[in-house]
Structure 1
């Protein structure tokens, strides 16, 4: 059985909801074991034991959240050269843009020689005031479905050996 590791970080709920929705989609594939870990808990052994990855986080100040960046920093060298060719997808919850975090995550995953299976999924929360930025977020039904579909697609591709 192949393993999909979902690593996420969220402060206000949007990225967590994205990761949970993707996990529901992936869980529908019986040939895939789905493992979900908060970024602060994920270790090099977790990465090494997975066959594919889904990374989800918010964009803060045009970059990945600090906790997600810390996950990549902590695990980068222990797995360098050992994940080559494995598939991944990225999900970003953004108040406005999201491309800075997506670009940063893409650069790290390129360094790990991971293979992107889709363009980064960026879901805009449109939070622009300090109050809206700090508030708990919920996703629309359409955004949830998009996340479910990404998780399902990654899981099916892993199960079939397409990636």
Structure 2
């Protein structure tokens, strides 16, 4: 009997399409890298729960930066799942994807702090995409992510899927 495929879960939220485009790139990279050896699943933050995280072999948290913080939907996801996860997912591999206007570091720090509390294991440097949106109009506008950034998303997805497939993490 063949072993069940490893499972990569992406929990994500997007306001203007940049994070969603990066998630799609990550998913495409993961699927291209591991084929059927890794089950790749994406859930919106509003839908994801502790059981989804527990059922995954690795997790990516993808969010836009909103007022120097993760999005409210991502925070809500953590609010609903943090205590049910506490003490149950130590060492689970994770990675971060943040789309920001110009900084992103406060959001990365905040997400890392949550992951530290859960004792997750960071297996890749956070992927940060800066859109350079600085006005209200630019911040709220639909985003087109440059191919160079999408390529980084595909690369991260491929890395994570390969790591799962090979048992590296």
The TM-score bracket by the shorter chain reads over 0.9
Equivalent of residue 75 in structure 1, options 55, 60, 81: 81
Q: Could you say which residue in structure 2 is the equivalent of 1:4?
A: 8
CA distance in 2, matches of 1:83, 1:148: 26
**Superposed CA offset, 1:35-85 (max 9, x none):** 110000001111111000111100011111111111111100011111111
Q: Could you say which residue in structure 1 is the equivalent of 2:46?
A: 40
Equivalent of residue 154 in structure 1, options 138, 160, 164: 160
* Equivalent residues in 2 for 1:1-163, closer than 5 Å: 1-28=5-32, 29-30=34-35, 31-163=37-169
Q: TM-score, normalised by structure 1?
A: 0.98
Instruction: Give the C-alpha shift of residue 118 in structure 1.
Output: 1.4
CA distance in 1, matches of 2:24, 2:11: 10
Instruction: Give the C-alpha shift of residue 110 in structure 1.
Output: 1.0
- Count of residue pairs the alignment pairs up: 163
CA distance in 1, matches of 2:45, 2:144: 20
**Superposed CA offset, 1:98-150 (max 9, x none):** 00110000010111111111121110000000000000011101000000000
CA distance in 2, matches of 1:114, 1:18: 22
